[in-house]
Amino acid sequence: QVISDFDMTLSRFGCNGRRCPTSHNILDTSRVISEDGKKKLKDLLHYYYPIEIDPNRTLEEKCPLMVEWWTKAHELLVQQKIHRSDIAQIVRESEAMLRDGFKEFFDQLHKNNVPLFIFSAGVGDILEEIIRQANVFYSNVNVVSNYMDFSDDGVLTHFKGPLIHTYNKNNTVLQGTGYFQQLSTRTSIILLGDSMGDLTMADGVPNVENILKIGFLNDKVGVR
């Protein structure tokens, strides 16, 4: 089985010298967010992102701060009264791009019946739409991410739990999903990610015999 992060792993980090957006960025900078909302979301990013990537802070220090960041960001998004019907258009208008070779990758996994498990701290509704619009949302693809919950008339009311951030992408948020138990015969894993938090994504997989971990070094290459 393949276990992969989404943002900056399956999606591109940059193109022609410009950064490509993450699933959160796509929403945060879209036309459905007010100017005030955009400013507040950007302020959160400038405060918390340096903490997320600080090599001198421990996980114990980072985790509660990541929960704080995601919770505040989700609350801001809820205030924007986002409509479910806007999501496809938001993605279409964005500069989201999947990595070179994505079609071959998704096609081969599907053709050979290899499960692809996408584990993302991003926004599930957005990343699913990216995959759908790329025509590669096959039956072997499963996603665990932060999903929106909408009212009967299609307005965002809250995000469903449990909250997934950069540093809890492991079996603590998978308990009860039973996902890996269904795949207990899949004892060889390719794990793809772009942050240290992604290293634990296969924790909780039973009977692992072989695991190949591949990291994408996108940013601050000299420092890291």
Q: Which residues are catalytic?
A: 5, 7
Cα 188 from chain centroid (whole Å): 23
Residue for token pair 């393949």: 2
Residue-wise burial string across 21-46, b where 16 or more C-beta atoms lie within 10 A, e elsewhere: bbbbbbbbebebbeeeeeebbeebbe
Q: Is 78 exposed, middle or buried (0-12, 13-18, 19+ CB in 10 A)?
A: middle
Q: Which two tokens stand for residue 65?
A: 């701060």
